[in-house]
Structure 1
Amino acid sequence: MKLVPLVLTFCFYRTDGAQNRADRYHNGSSPVLLDLDLSAVVRRVDPRFLSVTIDASLAADERFMLLLRSQKIQILTKALSPAFLRFGGTRQDFMVFSPQKSQQLDTDADESCNGTLLPWWAEEQLKEDWTQQQLILRGEELQRKYHRVQFSELTVDLLHSFSSCSGLDLIFGLNALLRTADNSWNSSNARSLLKYCESRQYRMSWELGNEPNSFEKKAGIRVDGYQLGRDFTHLRKILSESKLYREAGLYGPDVGQPRDHRTDLLEGFLQSGAEAVDACTWHHYYVNGRDTSLEDFLDPEVLDTLALKTNEVLETVKQASPGKSVWLGETSSAYGGGALGLSDTFVAGFMWIDKLGLGARLGLDVVMRQVLVGFGSYHLIDKDLNPLPDYWLSVLYKRLVGPEVLKIQVTSNFGRSKRVRLYLHCANKNSYRSGAVALMSMNLSKKPVWISVPALISSSTVDAFVLQSDRQGEEGLDSRSVKLNGELLKMVDDKTLPSLSGERQPPAQHLQLPGYSLAFFVFVDAKAPACR
């Protein structure tokens, strides 16, 4: 295995000749040396690696589920396919299926994806009302007082229609707080829901419960890991009795991230329930949304905490169930609904792209972003149904980055290099010819960086996709707008996304990574053996 050095140098940007500029900045600058290996794939993630969630709070008042019939949301979501769409969250464990036949949608019609779109006036009214609904939900969240919510066939029909029309695979979260006298899971309501979904031939996957480690805090009910595993085994048995769902996916237990190195609930679950699930799921957030800061979002040490928590979970799963796939079943920047003015702005992209790159390298197979649309400050699409910076970052990732992870390693001890983070994958073969590679890059510093391309791929042309805030410097980090190669990203109209094309650069060009920027560099003619 041959490792090829890639040199990065910190510099101040100047506008004179490219070659002279690169030579000048190598003098007196401390290089960051990286080794890359294009001969073999380190690991492969699921093609749906970047997936999304819809929080169950959207169904707290069922009429807001009608927002999923917005043509704009469907167009935006389709650009994220292939992906899973998880419907769950805190309020899933307070939701009870209550059939009301009169509300059932006609989703059998051939024109169901286009013929049942939300009228513009209804969409505008729902968006206006959603602002008030968010205040109600926020109050419940702060007080930790949740009330039981009844949902009908309408919620299920809308979710299935939306996921199908958008090309996403639906995962529905069932209520795990419905318990019997002996504290085992009461499956009667889930059976009613499954019977309805089977009658409609809805192909979908399932979860049971959300963050069981917080059941006692939010509902006064304590369920240990071993009992939770038995509950999942019970659900798997129910699914196996269904002709439609006997092969359906079942994922869980959606535990919160390990606190103080404790993984006992997950360990107990794996003892009794590992065989029931197709993947073991857990949740991760870097910081508390109520007391975090801009500095946290740019702190390499905060970003590195993901590796610590991920390795704890991976080791726990490996010991109990070797070979079991591990997913981040829910994740974003800050818990508690996100950090207002940070989680929905440009600066959140550093946490997001680093989580995608680091998570894939460490051993996660799927990462589900909280939330596509709905409650909180960490959404990809805002309350006016306009895409936020992390949405554009996600679409570019989908288009450019393939599932094959390649080796790239920092070999310099230069401290500032912690603020330059890079990950290497094969390029997405739907967008580029076989052998191309994609370098995911981020610069947490205000100073630009130059990348000197190694000889192995120096003959390749490069497509550069550089994302920056629409405002320069630190003042632009809290912007809700983003530029791609200098052009502001926005929808052409409610039906059309911009082209999102890269800037073609000739071979052997030194690549610039501006301060406070995110970038994808695709080496079109790399001819990497691992990617052919």
Structure 2
Amino acid sequence: MDRGLCVSVYLNKNRFFNRCLVLPRPSPRDADVYLDLDLSSVRHRVDTRFLSFTIDASLAEKERFMALLSSVKLQTLTKALRPAFLRFGGSRQDFMEFQPGESKGLRNLTSEESCGLTLLPWWLEEQLKEEWAQFQEILIKEDLEADYGDLKFTATTVDQLYSFSSCCGLDLVFGLNALLRTKENSWDGANAALLLEYCQARGYRMSWELGNEPNSFRKKAGVVVDGQQLGRDFAQLRELMSRFELYRQAGLYGPDVSQPRHRRADILGGFLETGAQSIDAVTWHHYYVCGRDTSLNDFLNPDILDTLNDNITKILEHGAPGKPVWLGETSSAYGGGAPGLSNAFVAGFMWLDKLGLAASRGLQVVMRQALIGPGKYQLVDPNLDPFPDYWLSILHKRLVGRRVLRVEMLSQLGQGERVRVYLHCASKRSSSSGAVVLLSMNLSDEPAVLFLPPSVSSSSVEAFVLQADQPGEQGVLSRNVMLNGVVLKMVDDRTFPDLRGTRLPPADRLQLPPFSMAFFLFHEAGAPACS
């Protein structure tokens, strides 16, 4: 079958309009998807920093790698994803201790001053990137074996991290070590107090977490901390924060448990009994599959995508009334990701579906693991070039607004749940009042036709269609992504490619190519919920 590079819009039953290459008219095998959109009411409102991301704490295992945060390229890519939280944490945070000492940083810098004073010389950046690519293999091995040594980090590490977040306009969330325990197995906050004291003296505004995946403490360190004790530990941290003027009202998030199965759900329930009043959001982690035991079929399997919905239901059942729920760490596959899959175009189906589903269920924040770190699921590669999921993220950040609307698929033929759609008000930066954006994906090797209701069929459409640069099912393993038929690549370290959509006339249907993801922006939808 001929492959369309962009999108077809059908003007009537006999004619269609195509801005790229000609697509064949739908055959009986194609999926006819009839959409019902509710533009009158808001289903949920997510945080302005809904799409957020992490930096893995392993970056600080050797302090010199923190200098990568001064890369012009990395700062350019990161600024484009603001507003966002930047979480610094992960498995190694529970083996890190702050070592006070003289700082090399400067106090009270503005974000622009912070950017200007920390730029990395090109020759040093090239050297660090080469060393970082090699060191990642050591870190991945440590993760697989859960073999972590104690790590001291200095004021310089804190300064570099805060300088990066300030320069890029991000809200820093710092993960504290929960495995510093007393003989009575309560949390020992003495080292955290030293860090808070230093950060307050520097004027560093940030939020805090305590511990990473406490359900795995036994495996990582031979320590068992039940949920109720963990809640008391958070209450202790909240009391510690109250001693510092800068952090009395600062955010505290937790407990960062893994997805709810067996003991993990028990830990969350016990934690909320004793710690709910201490936190500002309930955080948990989610991955679809194990990176060492998965396949391309898993990444294209709608049943696997649906497991997130079941997990969200379980978390919400345990949730504390009035407390927002966050996905505090998430990606496609745990264990550092799946080589050849988590860093390929196909991973975008999991990422876009997660963003759409999480918002539709009312989760306030989704933190992507990771902007930079060891493994195969980062947003940028060891050379600091974007992976496909980065381009998906920047389009989501630009186009998708806070207000979540209801969309239903009234009928589908031949595709099951391989066509998936979500609906938001458009972001203020992308369109005028009343505009909506349809997030859509086609997991099938056949085109899908989206039939639009009258509420939007009279609106012009701006189409942002993402496809791999190679055809067919094996093509989704490519690390190159096309926007409306053009491969996306940075022009230089400071300049993005053209990320504008293709303007299409009003029509009652859209065609979604095989193995594609798309944002369809309806500028004149006039949605009352978005006015």
TM (normalized to structure 1)? Answer: 0.94
8 Å CA contact retained: 1:107, 1:157? no
Partner Cα distance (1:28, 1:371) in 2: 39
Identity rate of aligned residues, in percent? 62
2:63 maps to a residue whose letter is E
User: Cα offset for 1:324?
Assistant: 1.1
Secondary structure in 2 aligned to 1:407?
A: strand
Whether contact under 8 Å (1:184, 1:231) holds in the other structure is yes
SS at the partner of 1:411?
strand
Secondary structure of 2:355's partner? helix
* SS of residue matched to 1:296: helix
Moved more, 365-374 or 12-21: 12-21
Q: Sort the Cα spacing of 1:148 and 1:29 in 2 relative to 1 into closer, same or farther, 3 A.
A: closer
SS at match of 1:504: strand
User: How far apart, CA to CA, are the structure 1 residues paired with 2:498 and 2:3?
Assistant: 31
Count, aligned residues: 519
Alignment check: 8 A CA contact 1:32 1:417 kept? no
Structure 1 residues 420-435: aligned runs within 5 Å: 420-435=419-434
Q: 1:335-384 CA distances to partner (integer Å, 9 max, x unpaired)? A: 00000110011000000000000011112110000000121100001000
User: Deviation at 1:323?
Assistant: 1.8
Give the Cα–Cα distance (whole angstroms) in 2 for the partners of residues 467 and 29 of structure 1: 19
Provide structure 2 residue ranges, at least 5 long, that are not aligned to the other structure.
17-23
TM-score, normalised to structure 2's length? 0.94
1:19-58 deviation digits (Å, cap 9, x = unpaired): 3266964878663333211000011010100000000011
The 1:423/1:261 distance shift into structure 2, 3 A limit, reads farther
Taking the aligned partners of 2:431 and 2:9, their CA distance within structure 1 comes to 32
Which position in structure 2 is the counterpart of 1:455?
Answer: 454
For residues 246 and 289 of structure 1, do their structure 2 counterparts lie closer, same or farther at Cα, with a shift above 3 Å needed?
Answer: same
> 1:78-477 residue pairs with structure 2 within 5 A?
78-101=79-102, 103-106=103-106, 108=108, 111-260=113-262, 263-317=265-319, 321-412=320-411, 414=413, 416-477=415-476
SS in 1 for 2:184: coil
Structure 1 runs not aligned, ≥5 long: 1-9
Q: Indicate if the aligned counterparts of 1:257 and 1:283 stay in contact, CA closer than 8 A.
A: yes
Q: Letter of the aligned partner of 1:77 in structure 2?
A: T
Aligned residues of 1:11 and 1:25 also touching (Cα < 8 A): no
Following the alignment from structure 1 to structure 2, what is the Cα–Cα distance between the partners of residues 77 and 426? Answer: 24
Contact 1:11 1:29 in 2 (8 A): no
Which letter does structure 2 place at the counterpart of 1:49? F
> 1:81, CA displacement in angstroms?
0.3
- Residue aligned with 1:52, SS: strand
CA distance in 1, matches of 2:202, 2:307: 44
* Backbone CA RMSD of aligned residues: 2.0
CA contact (8 A) 1:88 1:172 kept: yes
Partner SS state of residue 160, structure 1: helix
Match in the other structure for 1:64 = 65
Please say which of residues 226-235 and 123-132 is displaced more in the overlay. Answer: 123-132
Q: Cα 1:24–1:114, aligned 2, differ >3 Å: closer, same or farther?
A: closer
Structure 1 distance, partners of 2:9, 2:360, is 38
Closer, same or farther: CA 262–118 of 1 in aligned 2, 3 Å: closer
Q: Partner of 1:4 in structure 2?
A: none
Q: CA deviation at 1:106?
A: 2.3
**1:463 partner SS:** strand
Q: Deviations over 1:79-116 (max 9, x none)?
A: 00000000000000000001231x52225456331122
Give the aligned residue type for 1:81.
Answer: R
Task: Tell me the distance in 1 between the aligned counterparts of 2:3 and 2:246.
Answer: 61
Displacement of 1:417: 3.5
User: For structure 1, which segment, 507-516 or 401-410, has the greater mean C-alpha deviation from structure 2 after superposition?
Assistant: 507-516
* Structure with more relative contact order (C-alpha pairs < 8 Å, separation 6 or more): 2
Between 460-469 and 13-22, report the one with greater CA deviation.
Answer: 13-22
Tell me: CA distance 1:124–1:17, structure 2 relative to 1, closer, same or farther (3 Å): same
CA apart distance, 1:395: 0.3
From the superposition, tell whether residues 91 and 461 of structure 1 become closer, same or farther in structure 2 (CA, over 3 Å): same
The AA in structure 2 aligned to 1:353 is L
- Which amino acid in structure 2 is aligned with residue 87 of structure 1? F
Asked if 1 retains the 8 angstrom alpha-carbon contact of 2:35 and 2:453, the reply is no
What residue is the counterpart of 1:527 in the other structure?
A: 526
